[in-house]
Amino acid sequence: MLDLKPDFGSFFKDETFTGDFTFANSPQSVRRFPFPFDRDDYMYSVNIEPHVSTRPGSVFEHAFDIDEHYVSEMRDRARVLARDPLRCQSLPHMELAGWDLLELLMESLARDYPQWFTLTRSGNDWHWVNKPLGIDQRFTFLDASSLPYGPMEYITRQVQGDFTLQDERDQNLWVDAGMVTTQADWSLDFDIGMNFFEWHAPVPLAHEKGIFERALKFLLRLQHGAPVRRFNWTMTVNPLLDTAPETYPEWGAMRTTVTPQNVGEKLHLRVELQSLFRLPRSNAIAFSIRAYLGRFDDLVTVPKWGRRLHRVVRDVHPDLAAYKGFLRNRDAMTDWLSHHDDGAPTSPGIWPD
Amino acid sequence: MNAKLQVRVTEVEALNPLIKRFRFVPRDGGLLPAFSGGAHVVVEMEDHGTRRMNPYSLSSDPEDRTGYEVTVRRDDAGRGGSLYMHNHVAVGTEMVISHPVNLFPLDGRAKKHLFLAGGIGITPFKAMIHQLGHIGAKWELHYASRNPGLCAYGDLLRGPVQFYYDDDKSFIPLKDLLARQPLGTHVYCCGPKGMLAWVRATAAELGLAEHAVHFEEFTAPQPGAPFDVDLVRSGRRIHVPAHQSLLEAMEAAGVDAPYLCRGGACGQCECDVVTLDGQIDHRDHWLAPTDHKTKIMPCVSRFAGRALAIDR
């Protein structure tokens, strides 16, 4: 077992994503929120760009963003896994890709956050220290018996965001492993072993636009050392990280609790910063799906975001609103947001003015 | 394009009269990325005014991050890349290579990996055997070459390896070999064109599943008659000399052109044909025959006729 001895220090917040929902973004965290809309309307596109370090302090500064919610998110992941171990699965041929992912994550975190993580290596003898979670582990790289879990599960219990590992064969990608506990209503247990077209089958409108053929073609050419990223988004009532089909009975009904009075407090824009990395040894592709929750009350403190969010929610195609789970609350959301839109033009790009 | 690796040559070894092994280490003294067996790197060469970018399979241990090795067979009739490597690259030469790219990967689901190598086709298998050794997977190699003197790495390969020499009239007993493989075996073939065709036909005849038979298809671009091409988007006409590919001619003219394998296998450099008055000599493994009037792969294919204009 991975025995967490969390140290929140002065930076990490002690908060919950279920029950009493004490999750909240600090003012600094609101300012760095990855607002996903670069214009006043939204439709699918293959919005992929190189995943390079930009804007110090932003979520784009490091390959994997560690923020004030880190320790509490890892505690929430452990809670979800204890109830449902099938949220983490790896088919037998994916262990090497798991080691690739472990190496990528440990190297990145130790390089980008030396105050919290250290990695010391002598050949295949590795020593990993994770101070915020109180972990000090010596192990043998490529020897799964030297870790308390398989390599993918071991490291993804220590990194924010969901991860899937795609095997490449027959000119397609196959989702053959993953750690999925902070998902927007999709199930790893259902999708595991599917290919790129199969697991994207439920997405409306995009198939007709040929988006998945183009995206797959692009991803099959993804090169090591040149990761890419894109945004996805949806809406979540209450700050729930775990909105899985498996727990739908627990959270689905929360969508009916929205009233004109509590929209600002209950509604959260859920943004996924998705990044894709070609892995070196396995030739697999790692997909990182990092979810950020932004309370409407907080988002409208940035005037540009308030105006734009209103226009996007008001005008988005109803099929997309239904797929993203907010069709039933769209009118209440639009009405509430309209009070934060004075009709002024907005500047291009996603950043606050 | 993507980040490149800055390396220095630290070893050059003549394995036999035709084949040399080169070792690259990072100039900054750090570690190179690990790679997967079957991967290649694109090696950039400044050959007396001509820029060459040749893909070579990595033949070293994928877990050895201190350096990469490629194994190059001299092709006296080729366009000059291998001659440049053989005649001008020495210990101390500083070079630029791409990150590894794998278009000939192992299938991790295989219960057994059966390798069929012809001549210099041994190179990806050498790396694959190293990699499978680390994870304890089952493999078997059948390696055909002209004679023991030209059998690169023959003395270093240990384990279930069978050698065959043309000069002794000994050949891989392909039909029997494929017919007696256990269920779950994946077959991989890298060698000359004739060998690929032979393995492909035999595997099909025996009813092997297509997804379980893998080929290293990319081939070095071959020279041909010079020709001219109009680049519509760039608004210019370029000349492609006999010993340069269309892709290289575009790069030399400063036209941005994406690529991965530079050997007609990956599809990355595909260009749409805007006008065609003549015959495209399609030399790739990528385009379907139905695309032959409308697309061209500039990394290997050539043209003869009055006019060719492409959307680049």
In the prediction, which pLDDT does B261 show?
A: 80
Kindly name the residue from A31, A75, A79, A230 that is annotated as catalytic: A230
- B135 Cβ under 8 Å from any chain A Cβ: yes
Query: Which token pair is B155?
Result: 């003395």
Contact map slice: B 188-227 vs A, CB within 8 A: 211
Residue type, A86: L
Considering chain A, what is the average pLDDT of its residues?
A: 94
In the prediction, which pLDDT does A151 show?
A: 98
Measured between CA atoms, the residue of chain A closest to residue B99 is A224
pLDDT means over runs of 10, chain B (312 residues) = 84 97 96 95 89 92 96 88 94 96 94 97 97 93 97 95 97 97 97 95 96 85 90 94 90 86 82 95 89 93 94 92
- Closest residue to B2, CB basis, from A169, A226, A283: A226
For residue A103, which residues of chain B lie inside 8 Å, CB to CB? 34
- Tens digit of each residue's pLDDT (9 = 90 or more) over A124-167: 999 999 999 999 999 999 999 999 999 999 999 999 999 999 99
Query: Which token pair is A246?
Result: 């498996």
Strands of the A135-140 sheet, one edge to the other: A117-122, A125-130, A135-140
Q: Which residues contact A83 (CB under 8 A, 6 or more apart)?
A: none
- Closest residue to B2, CB basis, from A142, A223, A280: A223
Measured between CA atoms, the residue of chain B closest to residue A104 is B33
In the prediction, which pLDDT does B138 show?
A: 96
Q: Which residues contact A234 (CB under 8 A, 6 or more apart)?
A: A184, A185, A270, A272, A324, A325, A326
> CA A346, CA A188: separation in Å to the nearest integer?
38
- Tens digit of each residue's pLDDT (9 = 90 or more) over A265-310: 999 999 999 999 999 999 999 999 999 999 999 999 999 999 999 9
> CA A162, CA A275: separation in Å to the nearest integer?
11
> CA B93, CA B7: separation in Å to the nearest integer?
9
> CA A167, CA B94: separation in Å to the nearest integer?
35
For residue B35, which residues of chain A lie inside 8 Å, CB to CB? 224, 280-281
CB contact at 8 A, A131 and A7: yes
User: What is the DSSP annotation of A55-69?
Assistant: STTSTTSSSS---TT
pLDDT band at A44 (very low <50, low <70, confident <90, very high): confident
Best mutation target, A281, A282, A285, to test chain B (most B CBs within 10 A)? A281
Which domains can be identified in chain B, with CATH numbers? 5-102 (2.40.30.10), 112-215 (3.40.50.80), 227-310 (3.10.20.30)
> CA B245, CA B255: separation in Å to the nearest integer?
14
Query: Which token pair is A167?
Result: 């095997």
- Tell me the backbone φ, ψ of residue B194, rounded to 5 degrees: -60, -35
Best mutation target, B101, B103, B132, B299, to test chain A (most A CBs within 10 A)? B101
Mean pLDDT of A44-69: 90
B193 CB burial (10 A radius; 0-12, 13-18, 19+): exposed
Mapped onto helix, strand or coil, the DSSP state of residue A227 is coil
Sign (positive or negative) of CA dihedral B181, B187, B190, B193: positive
In the prediction, which pLDDT does B268 show?
A: 83
B168 CB burial (10 A radius; 0-12, 13-18, 19+): exposed
In the prediction, which pLDDT does B83 show?
A: 93
Residue type, A224: H
For residue A255, indicate whether it is catalytic. Answer: no
**Nearest Cα to A336, choosing from A303, A299, A296, A302?**
A296
pLDDT of A114 over the 70 cut: yes
Query: Which token pair is B20?
Result: 């040399």
In the prediction, which pLDDT does A25 show?
A: 97
* Chain CA centroid to CA B16, Å: 20
> CA A96, CA A284: separation in Å to the nearest integer?
9
CB contact at 8 A, B300 and B263: yes
User: What is the DSSP annotation of B72-128?
Assistant: EE--TTS-SHHHHHHHH--TT-EEEEPPPEESS---TT-SEEEEEEEGGGHHHHHHH
Mean pLDDT of A67-92: 97
- CB-based contact A224 B101, cutoff 8 Å: yes
In the prediction, which pLDDT does A1 show?
A: 60
A204 CB burial (10 A radius; 0-12, 13-18, 19+): middle
CB contact at 8 A, B295 and B286: no
Best mutation target, A224, A228, A277, A278, to test chain B (most B CBs within 10 A)? A224
Which residues are registered as beta bridge partners of B72?
B20
- Closest residue to B108, CB basis, from A93, A217, A225: A93
- Closest residue to A281, CB basis, from B2, B36, B107: B36
Number of CB atoms found within 10 A of residue A218's CB: 13
> CA B13, CA B19: separation in Å to the nearest integer?
9
What is the number of H-type helices and E-type strands within chain B? 5, 17
Our CA-based measurement puts residue B127 at a distance from the nearest CA of chain A, in whole angstroms, of 11
A149 CB burial (10 A radius; 0-12, 13-18, 19+): middle
For residue B3, which residues of chain A lie inside 8 Å, CB to CB? 225-226
Taking the domains of chain A in order of start, what are their residue ranges?
44-294
> CA A228, CA B225: separation in Å to the nearest integer?
40
In the prediction, which pLDDT does B1 show?
A: 41
- Tens digit of each residue's pLDDT (9 = 90 or more) over A169-228: 988 999 999 999 999 999 999 999 999 999 998 887 777 777 788 788 888 889 899 899
- Which CA distances in Å does A55 have to A60, A134, B255? 7, 30, 30
For residue A142, which residues of chain B lie inside 8 Å, CB to CB? 63, 134-135
What is the number of H-type helices and E-type strands within chain A? 13, 10
- CB-based contact A96 B266, cutoff 8 Å: no
CB contact at 8 A, A13 and A282: no
A115 CB burial (10 A radius; 0-12, 13-18, 19+): exposed
